[in-house]
Amino acid sequence: MLGRLNHVAIAVPDLEAAVRKYGKVLGAKVSQPLALPDHGVTVVFVELANTKTELLEPLGEHSPIAAFLERNPSGGIHHMCYEVDDIIAARDRLRDQGVRVLGDGEPKIGAHGKPVLFLHPKDFDGTLIELEQV
């Protein structure tokens, strides 16, 4: 069911500072910031040869990233994103196995303009999992 690793997401308290570190200090190619109000985040992608790293900061008062940063003020790994061919089939298969899909269970459009879903971290050893349809 799982395809390749699409990205690892890191929550950061200051997106501009993080972009400077990844871009200038590490010499990586970093995308322009993209605000995603439906997800409550602003993101950039650090482009790598084999995958991406997503840097995200809270957007708005109700951002799920704000609560994460309250517990982890320096930031940290927030989630792993895996690709799937058919997000609805993947969701239904996972639900049949007792996996909890977050939110209303319907895919939302993610930062890449593709449908995404998030799976409860308690069902995956404490790791928030994002699925993205390719």
Tell me which residues are annotated as active site. Answer: 130
What the block records as the tokens of 54 is: 């997503």
Give the strand pairing for 41-47 and 5-11: unpaired
Burial 14-26 (b: 16+ CB within 10 A, else e): ebeebbebbeeee
Burial 66-87 (b: 16+ CB within 10 A, else e): bebbeeeeebeebbebbbbeeb
Q: Are 119 and 129 in contact (CB under 8 A)?
A: yes
The H-or-E segment that residue 10 falls in is: strand 5-11
